[in-house]
Amino acid sequence: MDPLFDAWTQEKILELNLGDALRLAKVWNLEVQGLRQLQEIKSRLLTKWKEGDGRESPKSPVPFLGGILKASQDQEEVRMELQNKLQQTEKLVQDIPEKLKSNLLQSYPSLDDTIRTMAHSLESLQCWILVAGEVGAGKSSIINLFLDCHVLPTDTLKCSNTIVEIRCSDINEARCYFKSSWTDRGQQRSMKPRVIKLDDQRGIQEFKDCVTECDANDDNPYDHIELYYHFKTLSKSVVIVDIPGIGGGNNLDHRLEKYIKSAFGFVYVMNTNTAGGLSHSRLGHLLKTVVNSSKEFGPDSLLFIGNKSENVPQCDTTVVQKDIFEQLSNVYPEIRNNQIHYMSVTKARDIYEDHKTLSDDQVTLLQRIGELIPNPHRHAMKEHYWWLSSLLSRTAYVLRVAGVQHEMSAEELKRKYTEMQGHVAELQHNTDECVKKLRHKVEFEIYRITNTIREMLQHRNLHNKLCKWDNESDCPKVFRKWKLTADEAALKISERIASVMDAWERDNQTLHGIEREIVDVFTKEFGLLTHQVHEIESEYFNPWTLPSF
C-alpha cells in the first residue's frame, strides 16, 4: 500500500469541497486541468486513489460478486450435491433384492415416489427474503439499490400498497393478481391477472402505479404482484418479497403466512431520523407473526437496516444507535449488534451513479443480504438430509440383519426371533409409557403456566399498568378513517400487553425455566429408549464383525 494514499478513504474523498479537491490533486500530481465540475474531479481522484492503493479501478459499474449471486452459487453447489446423493440412493434401492426391499418398504411405503418427490422439490427450491419497514423509511429504495435498478416506486407521497414478489427472469413483465371477489350466489369469481410489459419506461410507470394504487379505504385492488425482470444482481433461486410499509395498507397477516411458513430471510428497514425509526407495536406484531409461523426462524435469519443515517448529527450517532438497539432488544431479545446496518441509501446511490463505484455502505449491504441466503437454503435442505440419513441407516440395518441371518442355523434364527419379539414388546411398552409421561409433563406445565399468568394478571399493580394510560402520547391517534383508528388502538393495546408480559418474564424467567425442565425430561427419556435399542442390537449382531448403529 502506498503511504501517499494510506490516510485517504473513499468517503473522505467524496466529502471534499472544490478547493480541497484541487489541492489534493496537486499533491498526487493528478492532471485535472479543464475539469469544471467537482464531481468530475472527485471521480478522477477516486480512480487515482484506487490505483495507488492497490485496488482495481473498475471501468464500468460492476455488480458486487460477494452478495446474493455468490451466496446463491455456493448454495447451488450444495443443492446439486444433495441431488446427486438422492440419485445414488435411488439406484441403491433399485439394486436391493426384492425380499430385502419389501422389509425396507414397511418403514418407507411409496419409497420410489418419495425419492422422486424430494428430487423435484430440490429442483424448484427457492429462497424467500421478506423486506418490510416503516412507511417512508426507504424500503423500496433499498431494494432498488441492491438490485441495481429503478423499477420499484420510491415516491414519498405514493408508498407501496400491496405485496410484490420480485424474481430474476429472462422476461420483463409484471403480473398483477386481483383480490378475491364473490358473486351474489357466494361463488368466487375467476379473474385473470393483469399483465404489464416492462420493456420501456411507460410500462415501468404503469407497474409503479399498480403497486401504489389505493382507494378511499386505503385498499389496493391486487392481492399481490409478481415482478419478473432481468436483474443483474439477483439469482433465479431467490425471491425478494416487498411488503407494504408498516403503518400503511391493510392487515397482511393472512397473506404473509404463505411466505413465512417455510424457511426464509427477513429484512426490516428503519428510519433512524424519526424517533429511533421504530414503531414498537407494529414491529412487535410483525415479528411475532414471523416467529410463530416459522419453526426454523432464528436470529441469523434477520437483518435490520437503519436508513437515512445522513440526517442524524455526528455527535448524536452513538446515542441514537444505542437507543435503537435497546428498542429492538425489547421487541426481539435475541438481536445482536452485527445484525443492524446503518447507512444512507441516498448517498450510496449517488456515489454509485456519479462515480461508478460502490460505497463501503453498499458493499456491506450486499454482503449482509448475501449472508441471509444460506440460512433459508440450509433449513429447506435439512429435512432432505435427515430423511436421506434415516433411509440409508435403515437400509444398512436391513443389509446387516440379512448378513447375520445368512450365517445362522434355522434353530438359532428361531431362538433369536423369539428373543427379539420379547425385547421389541418391552421396548414398545416402554415407548408408550414414555410418550404418556411426556404428554402429562407438557399438559402439567401448560396448566402451571396458565395459572401463573392468571394469578399475575390479578395483581393490582399489573392491572394498573395495563389499564391506566396516563401519558397521552401512548394513546392511539384519531384518524379521519375509523378503520385506521381501530387498527391503531388494537396495536397499541397489543403493544402494552406484550411489553408488560415481556417485563414480567425477564424478571421471573418463568417460561425459560419451564422450557429447560421440559427439554431435560425429554432428553432423559429419549436417552433411555436409545440405550435400550442399542442393547437389542448388540444382542442380535456380532459386535466383532459388524459396526454398531
Q: What is the pLDDT of residue 335?
A: 81
First to last CA, the chain: 57
Partner residues linked to 175 by β-bridges:
195, 226
- Answer whether 122's CB lies under 8 Å from 80's CB: no
Distances (CA, A) of 472 to 70, 323, 475, 478: 50, 22, 5, 12
Instruction: Give the other-Cβ count within 10 Å of 412's Cβ.
Output: 12
pLDDT of residue 65: 47
* 127-379 under CATH 3.40.50.300, yes or no: yes
pLDDT score of 66: 54
pLDDT of residue 226: 96
| Domain residue extents for the chain | 3-52, 68-123+383-391, 127-379, 410-540
Instruction: Encode pLDDT of 180-194 as tens digits.
Output: 877 667 667 778 999
C-alpha distances in angstroms, 90 versus 85, 93, 118, 336, 542?
A: 9, 5, 11, 43, 29
pLDDT, residue 406, reads: 67
Residue 97, strand partner residues: none
Residue 15's CB is within 10 A of a number of other CB atoms, namely 11
Predicted pLDDT at 210 = 94
Cβ-proximal residues to 497 (8 Å cutoff; 6+ apart), any chain: 466
Sheet holding 264-271, edge to edge: 194-197, 173-178, 222-229, 163-168, 238-242, 127-133, 264-271, 302-307, 340-342
Residues with Cβ within 8 Å of 203's Cβ and at least 6 positions away in sequence, in order, are 172, 196, 197
Rounded Cα distance between 117 and 83, Å, is 11
345-399 confidence digits (pLDDT tens): 888 888 887 777 788 888 888 888 888 877 666 766 777 888 888 888 878 777 7
**Alpha carbons 229 and 198: distance in angstroms, whole number:** 8
b vs e for 54-82, b when ≥16 Cβ sit within 10 Å of the residue's Cβ? eeeeeeeeebbeebbbbbbeebeeebeeb
Q: Are 22 and 41 spatial neighbours (Cβ–Cβ below 8 Å)?
A: yes
pLDDT of residue 57: 43
Residue 286: Cβ within 10 Å count: 23
Return the pLDDT at 209: 93
Q: What is the mean pLDDT of each run of 10 residues along the chain (549 residues)?
A: 60 75 77 73 75 48 58 80 87 83 82 86 81 85 89 83 92 92 71 92 94 81 93 86 68 65 77 65 67 63 86 83 83 81 88 78 85 71 81 79 68 67 71 82 85 82 79 77 80 78 78 80 78 66 43
Q: Which residues have C-beta within 8 Å of that of residue 21, sequence separation ≥ 6? A: 38, 41, 42, 45
Output the pLDDT for position 1.
Answer: 44
Query: Which DSSP string do the residues of 191-255 spell out, in sequence order?
Result: -PPEEEE-SSHHHHHHHHHHHH---TTS--SEEEEEEEE--SS--TTEEEEEPPPBTSSS--HHH
Burial of 283 (0-12, 13-18, 19+ CB in 10 A): buried
Please work out, in degrees rounded to the nearest 5, the angle formed at the alpha carbon of residue 69 by the alpha carbons of 65 and 72: 135
Cell 448403529 sits on residue: 549
247 phi-psi bin (left φ>0, alpha ψ -120 to 50, beta other) = left
Q: What is the pLDDT of residue 545?
A: 42
Instruction: Spell 379-394 as b/e; 16+ CB within 10 A means b.
Output: bbbeebeeebeebeeb
Q: Write down the pTM of the prediction.
A: 0.68
What pLDDT, on the 0 to 100 scale, is given for residue 175? 96
Question: Contact at 8 Å (CB) between 464 and 251?
Answer: no
